[in-house]
Amino acid sequence: MPPSRFEPSTIKNKIKREEIAGKQKKAKRQEKLQKRLVQAKAEANDPLLKKKRLAQNVPRTLDNTREFDPSILTANPNAEAGPSTLASQEDPANGEKQPEQQPEDESAADIANDPFAAYFSGAVDPSVPPKVLVTTSPKATRTTYDFCDELVGIFPGAEFIRRKKGKGFEMGRIAGWAANRGYSHLMVVNEDSKKTNAITMVYLPSGPTAYFKLTSVELSQKISGHARATTHYPELVLNGFVTRLGHTVGRLFQTFFPPMPEFQGRQVVTLHNQRDFLFFRRHRYAFRSTEKVALQEIGPRFTLKLRSLKKGLPAVKNLGAPSKHLEFDAEENEQERQALKDVEMGESAAQEENEEQDAQPAKQSQKVVPPTEDEFLWMWKPELETTRRTFFL
Mean pLDDT of 347-355: 50
Rounded CA separation 200/212 (Å): 6
What band does 71 get if pLDDT is binned at 50, 70 and 90?
confident
Q: Which residues pair with 200 in a beta bridge?
A: 188, 211
Please provide the DSSP assignment of 202-247 as one string.
EETTT--EEEEEEEEEE-GGGSTTPPPP-SSPPEEEEES--BHHHH
> Cα-flanking dihedrals φ and ψ of residue 374, to 5°?
-80, 140
pTM: 0.73
Alpha carbon distance 221, 227 (integer Å): 10
Alpha-carbon distance 299 to 281, whole Å?
A: 6
Residue-wise pLDDT for 17-39, tens only, equals: 999 999 999 999 999 999 999 99
Question: Please, where are the H alpha helices in 46-94?
Answer: 47-56
The model's pLDDT over 98-112, given as tens digits with 9 standing for 90+, comes to 445 555 667 777 777
Q: Which of 308, 319, 306 is nearest to 391 (CA)?
A: 306
SS3 143: helix
Residue 78's pLDDT is what? 47
Rounded to whole angstroms, the Cα distance separating 192 from 205 reads: 28
Mean pLDDT to the nearest integer, 281-307: 91
Return d(Cα 189, Cα 191) in angstroms, integer: 7
- Spatial CB neighbours of 138, under 8 Å, sequence gap ≥ 6: 163, 165, 169
